[in-house]
Amino acid sequence: MLTLESPPAWASKPIKQDVPYNDAKGVQAALDKLQKLPPLVTTQEITNLKKNLKNVALGKAFVLQGGDCAELFDYCNQDMIEAKVKLLLQMSLILIWGANKPVVRIARIAGQFAKPRSSPMEVVNGVEMPSFRGDNINGFEATPESRKPDPSRLVSAYFHSAATLNYLRASLTSGLADLHSPLDWGLGHVITPTIKEKYERIVNRVKDALRFMQTVGIDTDRGVETVDIYTSHEGLLLEYEQSLTRLSKNPATETTHPAQAPGATTAPAPPQSYFATSAHFLWIGDRTRQLDGAHIEFFRGIANPIGIKIGPSMTPDELVRILDVVNPTREIGKVTLISRYGAQKIAQHLPSHIAAVQASGHLPVWQCDPMHGNTQSTPSGVKTRHFTDILSELRQALEIHKAAGSFLGGMHLELTGEAVTECVGGAGGLTEENLCERYTTFCDPRLNEKQALELAFLVAGFYREMDEETNSI
C-alpha cells in the first residue's frame, strides 16, 4: 500500500533501474525539499484527464501523446516549448479531421528527464564511467565527475518542470491554441508542398465553420480559444515520485466498470486518494513492470491514470495479472496499454494480448508506440528509426484492433518541433547519409515536425478509410 510514511511499501520490493547515489545526506535533503514544495499539477486536472481517457477507452475520443525521448534542462525555453505545443496542436487538428473524434493531448514534457538504460556503465574513449541516465540524475558530458549521480538534480528537475508548466499554461491561457487562427501556429521548417496544402485545406474548413457559428450566434464559449494539454513522463525514479505524492480529497465519483463486464465490482470512490502530482499521467516502462517489483507496487497505489508499456516479452497472462493488480476495480480508462512491439513482431503478439484483455473484463485505453520497437543502428553505429517501419506498425495496429472488435485509441510518439535529422524517410526523403546534419538527441531518435505532420495525415487517412468501409457495409 502507498503511504506517505517512511519507508513506503514499494521500498521493500525489488527495484529495477535504481540510482546508486553515494551521498545519502544529499539525497535525503533533496527529498525533504521536494516534500515541502507545492504540487506541480492539481488533483482536479488529473481527474479531468481520467474522464477524458474513459471516453478514449469507450471509442469516443483519440489520444495523442508525444514529445522528447529525454528532456534536458536546456529545453526549458520559450522557443522549444512553443514548438512542441504547436506541433501537438497541428497534429491534433489533423487527427480530429480524420478520425472525427475529440483528441486528448498529452505531452511528454515538464518531467521526462530520466531514462532507463540497458547497462549502468559504459566505456568512453577507453574510460569506464556511469551511463548518462538523464538530466535529473547526472550530466551528459563524458567524464567520470559529470556522470556521477547528483541528488541536487532532483530539485533542479522540479523547478525546470515548474517553469515549463508555468509557460505552457500561460501560453494556452493567452490564446496560443485559439482555433480562430490555427495558421498562426506556423509550419516551422516544413517545406513539403503537399503537407502544407493539406494542412491549409483543413484550416480553411475550420475557419469557415467558426465564421458560420459566429454568424448564427453560437460561438459563445472558450472551447475554440484554448485546449487542455496534459503532462506525462515515465515514473522511473520512485523516490522523486513519492516525494511529490499527496493525499488529497478524491474529486472522482465513479470508479467502477459497467456491470456487464466479467469480474466487475461495485465500490464507492474513497474519500481520499494518493495522487502523484509530478505530472497528470505516469507510465511504467517495459524494463520496470515486474509483478513483484517496486514500480508496480507504487503505481497500484496512486489515483492518476497510468500507462504500461507492452513489448514482445509480455505474456498475455502476465498482462492480465498486472491489470488486476493496478486496477482491481476495473475502472474504465484508468490504464493505458502502450504497445511497442516493432513492425515485424506486432502481428505475432498484439492479437493475443487484445484477446486476453477482452476476456478479463478490463477496458483500458489501447495506444500504439511505433517508435521503440523499430530502433536500429546504421552500419556506422548511429541509432535511427525508419519512417516506413513506424507507419507500418501503426497501420497494423489499427487493422488488428478493428479485426478483434477493439479500438486503437491513440498513438505515443517521440517527436520534436525542431528541424532534426534523426529518423530516416518520410516525404522529405531523409537518408542515413543525412543523419549527421542535425542529429541532436541525447537518447533515442525523434520524428521532426515534417515527419510528425505527415504521420498525422496518414493516420487520419487510415481512419477515414475505415469509416468509409464501415459505412459501406
Q: How many CB atoms lie within 10 A of CB 433?
A: 11
Q: How far apart are alpha carbons 342 and 426 in whole angstroms?
A: 18
Going by C-alpha positions, the residue among 133, 108, 137 that lies closest to residue 118 is 133
330 assigned binding-site residue: no
Give backbone dihedrals phi and psi of 352, rounded to 5 degrees, phi first: -70, -30
- Phi, psi of 295, deg, nearest 5: -70, -45
* Separation between Cα atoms, residue 438 and residue 472, nearest integer Å: 46
Query: Is 444 annotated as ligand-binding?
Result: yes
The Cα-based distances of 292 to 116, 275, 289, 326 in angstroms read 19, 22, 9, 12
- Does residue 201 have a known ligand-binding role? no
Between the alpha carbon of residue 146 and those of residues 11, 133, 137, 167, 288, the distances in Å are: 28, 11, 10, 29, 26
Cα three-residue angle 468-469-473, rounded to 5 degrees: 115
Q: Say which residue the cell 482491481 belongs to.
A: 328
Select from 464, 454, 460 the least CA-distant residue to 193: 454
> Tell me, what amino acid is at 206?
V
Instruction: Find out whether 450 and 426 touch, Cβ atoms under 8 Å.
Output: yes
Whole-number Å distance between alpha carbons of 95 and 19: 39
Helix (H, G, I), strand (E, B) or coil at 424: strand
Is 249 marked within a binding site?
Answer: no
Under a CB-based contact definition with an 8 Å cutoff, are residues 298 and 328 in contact? no
Residue 206's CB is within 10 A of a number of other CB atoms, namely 18
Can you tell me the distance from the alpha carbon of 39 to that of 249, in angstroms, rounded to the nearest whole number? 14
Tell me which residue has cell 500500500.
Answer: 1
Annotated ligand binding at 69? The verdict is yes
| Residue positions forming the annotated binding site | 69, 108, 309, 340, 372, 414, 444
| Residue positions forming the annotated binding site for Mn(2+) | 69, 372, 414, 444
| Residue positions forming the annotated binding site for phosphoenolpyruvate | 108, 309, 340
